[in-house]
Chain A
């Protein structure tokens, strides 16, 4: 079932954007897959065309009989992930141990919101792991401080062209690569067609613009008394920037000039008129129309999922994996709740992220990267380089970078799109087309050491200041701009 107007949206998308250009133009012809042809049809056409033997490929980097020891931290599954992903994580470590039986692997999973804090603390005590897989906005901070080794795809048998140019930007610091992308994703708009219908909206057409989202949310709330849009504004949670930044960029705003083809990050734009318009849209939904959950200030996406399944939220921004999460939650429901949940699942639709008033569509180019640490920051003062490269090679291989992103993301290694598992995935994961279609609209977070603080603290603070009435929209934006300027200048509290 294809309930989104994908063809029309993509036609529009073809006209769109400096954003797409910025993502694609850098090395279109050199990529392992032709990004200039990127569309659901193209993705389907290349799926299942290549076979890769991970053991053989990684055996060229680190011999399969190598004896060594490896400590590894990674951002693991959490409560908002589907069970399918848990199984793949289990399979991955079993496969690694089977391929490298003589490497003593000590892995530790941490949740998205805990990983940065714990990793920073461990590094202060020179007690880090040898290898770490971090969220996309984390790598530059640690590279700039000298914690990470230089590491490029060529070091583990791949080519730089095997990865998204935008993803490679996220591991670059002062012209050198310090990691390899494991997975990359862009989110989509999810809506409940049944709620749309009951609220008097076209059930098969999502809001085209962010202004439409505000209007639809109000109409749904006014007519049905439920939340129209699943706003998220919690502090210290990655969910907030992933949902607000597309809105900010859509309206033409930004933290800096990160949406420009060649960003310099020198000019703070968070208090520009366009940025304030984006913040005003959130204010209108939360304060003026009261059409979003009141709990948005303490909620994260994992809190929105059950609300969506209960038919209490009509629209939200999330991954393709949310469909599988809904199936998992529905399976655990009982009695009439189970039937209600099934109704919601049957009416679940995915569409492209809305555009701003000028037709600008953007989404966070998300994902994770894998890094090797410098020995002096590792517990014991030694990094087993061969074992570390074996892990990096394994995770970034076409096979496992796809399988580990099966339901919620996309393979960091573009060759993953050519595997038989991608073909299988396209047949089994609903709405995957939509989120892969969003990839060319992806905008990477600014590659600055200050980015985690800006995205996880300053942006949510700005939202909370405006939405609680602690400040006006103008004051909140100006306050955020001052904090960002102070932070960039090395000062501020």
Chain B
């Protein structure tokens, strides 16, 4: 920082002159050089595809034409999408999928983290077991769940029948009303360990002396959780929820493998629908327009994610 001696009677700090942006960049030129390769790679593999996708979203790509012969249609793809009944149904599915998966996985993960934060016999083993759904292949898990849900011979249905809870094999994934909740259960099962790990890490940052002092002062367990633990976990909770939300918006494997978006589009979410439009039906232009809309939503979530991270950093610096 450059300081200049100034007017008599004023303290030196009022005459601090900020270096220009270019000067700052020159001073930090070595740092820029270090990150330059990463920036170049990002431009090639991220910026260009984004540009190309936006460009493609203004073209029509009929099945009988090559992509290079695409026809310019302006914003027709966007208006077609927004006026399409399927779009709104898929969007509703996506919102239900994302909100339900994110919140329930977070609550379960937080609860598990709180339980495992206490010291008890077998804690390490239990923690390892609970992490299994997160580490196994999503493809393998999807096939296993598909067979467990099988509408004629599924294990879950058979157990329910054996226990006398239901009379006949329940229809989990071949029914337009039960298919989405059934897939959300699988997704939560896959994701809650991630929330658990994040929250377990967050719990390490809650000051133990504060909790002890509150206990000495007669605070109940709920009061300690509500007034001490929860405020300290706000930052990591926000980040966890945002990461889960972004991951869920981008989900593909579970719904695609288990149902392919069916039956009757009842389990299509945005990504599976975009995939089908592009690779199954070759509507590259429409799929690109869908992707642009999804990109805008995800960028908004990304903005909040960065803000949450920045707020955390400031809070930590303040502490």
The residues of A with any CB-CB pair to B shorter than 8 Å are 117, 120-121, 124, 141, 144-147, 227, 233-236, 293-298, 307, 312, 449-450, 452-453, 456-457, 460-461, 464-465, 467-471, 487, 490-491, 493
Q: From residue B1, how far is it (CB to closest CB) to chain A in Å? A: 51
Q: From residue A247, how far is it (CB to closest CB) to chain B in Å? A: 19
Q: From residue B266, how far is it (CB to closest CB) to chain A in Å? A: 7
Select one of A120, A236, A297 contacting B282, CB under 8 A: A120
Number of B interface residues at 8 Å Cβ cutoff, please give it: 40
Q: In this assembly, does B190 line the interface, its C-beta being within 8 Å of a C-beta of chain A? A: no
Q: In this assembly, does B133 line the interface, its C-beta being within 8 Å of a C-beta of chain A? A: no
- Residues of A within 8 Å of B86, CB to CB, are 493
Q: In this assembly, does B111 line the interface, its C-beta being within 8 Å of a C-beta of chain A? A: no
- Residues of B within 8 Å of A457, CB to CB, are 276, 280-281
Q: In this assembly, does B84 line the interface, its C-beta being within 8 Å of a C-beta of chain A? A: yes
* Contact A453 B173, CB 8 Å, known A464-B262, A468-B263: no
Q: In this assembly, does B235 line the interface, its C-beta being within 8 Å of a C-beta of chain A? A: no
Taking a contact as CB atoms under 8 Å apart, the answer to whether B282 and A453 are in contact is yes
- B265-289: contact bitstring with A at CB < 8 Å (1 yes, 0 no)? 1100000000011011111001000
The residues of B with any CB-CB pair to A shorter than 8 Å are 60, 62-67, 80-81, 84, 86-87, 146, 150-153, 169, 171, 173-176, 258-266, 276-277, 279-283, 286
> What are 12 A-B pairs at a CB distance below 8 A?
A120-B282, A121-B279, A146-B66, A236-B260, A236-B280, A294-B169, A307-B153, A312-B153, A449-B63, A453-B281, A464-B262, A468-B174
Taking a contact as CB atoms under 8 Å apart, the answer to whether A493 and B146 are in contact is no
Taking a contact as CB atoms under 8 Å apart, the answer to whether A456 and B173 are in contact is no
Taking a contact as CB atoms under 8 Å apart, the answer to whether B276 and A236 are in contact is yes
Taking a contact as CB atoms under 8 Å apart, the answer to whether B264 and A312 are in contact is no
**Cβ-closest chain A residue relative to B71:** A490
Taking a contact as CB atoms under 8 Å apart, the answer to whether B169 and A493 are in contact is no
Docked pose: A387 CA to B151 CA in angstroms:
49
- Residues of B within 8 Å of A297, CB to CB, are 174, 262-263
Docked pose: A147 CA to B146 CA in angstroms:
38
The 10 closest A-B pairs by CB, nearest first: A294-B151, A449-B64, A470-B264, A297-B263, A295-B151, A117-B279, A464-B264, A490-B62, A297-B174, A464-B263
> Given known contacts A233-B263, A461-B264, what 4 new A-B pairs fall within 8 Å (CB)?
A294-B174, A298-B263, A449-B64, A464-B262
- Residues of A within 8 Å of B266, CB to CB, are 468, 470
Taking a contact as CB atoms under 8 Å apart, the answer to whether A453 and B66 are in contact is no
Taking a contact as CB atoms under 8 Å apart, the answer to whether B280 and A117 are in contact is yes
Taking a contact as CB atoms under 8 Å apart, the answer to whether B280 and A453 are in contact is yes
**Cβ-closest chain A residue relative to B169:** A294
Taking a contact as CB atoms under 8 Å apart, the answer to whether B152 and A468 are in contact is no
- Residues of A within 8 Å of B64, CB to CB, are 141, 144-145, 449-450
Docked pose: A461 CA to B265 CA in angstroms:
8
Docked pose: A35 CA to B263 CA in angstroms:
42
Taking a contact as CB atoms under 8 Å apart, the answer to whether B65 and A145 are in contact is yes
